[in-house]
Amino acid sequence: MRHHLKGFFRRDGAHPLIQFIKYGMAGGLATAVDIVVFYLLAWKVLPALTANDQLVELLNISITPVSETTRQWHYALNRGLTFQVSNLTAYVANVLWVFTPGRHSRAKEILLFYMVSGISFLVATGLSTGLIAWFGWTTTTAFLVNMVCSLMINYVCRKYLVFKG
């Protein structure tokens, strides 16, 4: 037990399960940043929420109605802006706490990190934007699909392609 607890506070030599839990926690931090920035943008900057959106109903907030086409574009633009902030948060948390850097030079590591994130971002945002366009899913439901898809792609690629493991 003591060994696993030590592994929780170091990034080197942690058991794979401990590492995945830490990755989840670091991802939770990045996701929290992602959610806050996304919804602030979707509510106040580039409107992308509908009256029947779960968050709108839960918080009883007023929204600016936009056409479905505008909502789709705003959703994608908001995701692009949010990606920059949350990805930086994820990189810092992963380097400081989860994975062992050094498989590549720092510049290449950052480039690969952003490339992996970019690919998962494009796949997940494309899928979730499609769910809005083709099936009329709410922004929040599409956002949840986006998060799950990104989590799966990012963990595997970061563990085996970007960092030492």
Condensed to tens digits (0 to 9), the pLDDT of residues 12-64 reads 666 778 888 888 899 899 989 999 999 999 999 999 999 999 999 999 999 99
Tell me which of 52 and 2 has the higher pLDDT: 52
1-5, 60-64, 156-160: least confident range: 1-5
Q: Global pTM?
A: 0.73
The two structure tokens encoding residue 4: 């696993």
Between CA 82 and CA 41 the distance in angstroms is: 8
Output the pLDDT for position 74. 95
Between CA 135 and CA 24 the distance in angstroms is: 30
Q: Band of the pLDDT at 152, cuts 50, 70, 90?
A: confident
Output the pLDDT for position 143. 87
Tell me which of 5 and 76 has the higher pLDDT: 76
Output the pLDDT for position 5. 64
* Distances 27 to 3, 74, 116, 119, 163 between C-alpha atoms, Å: 24, 24, 15, 17, 16
Output the pLDDT for position 145. 92
Q: What is the largest CA-CA distance in the chain?
A: 57
Output the pLDDT for position 24. 87
The two structure tokens encoding residue 159: 């563990």
**97, pLDDT greater than 90:** no
Q: What is the DSSP string of the chain?
A: -HHHHHHHH-STT--HHHHHHHHHHHHHHHHHHHHHHHHHIIIIIS----TT-HHHHHHT-------HHHHHHHHHHHHHHHHHHHHHHHHHHIIIIISPP-SS-HHHHHHHHHHHHHHHHHHHHHHHHHHHHHH---HHHHHHHHHHHHHHHHHHHIIIIIS--
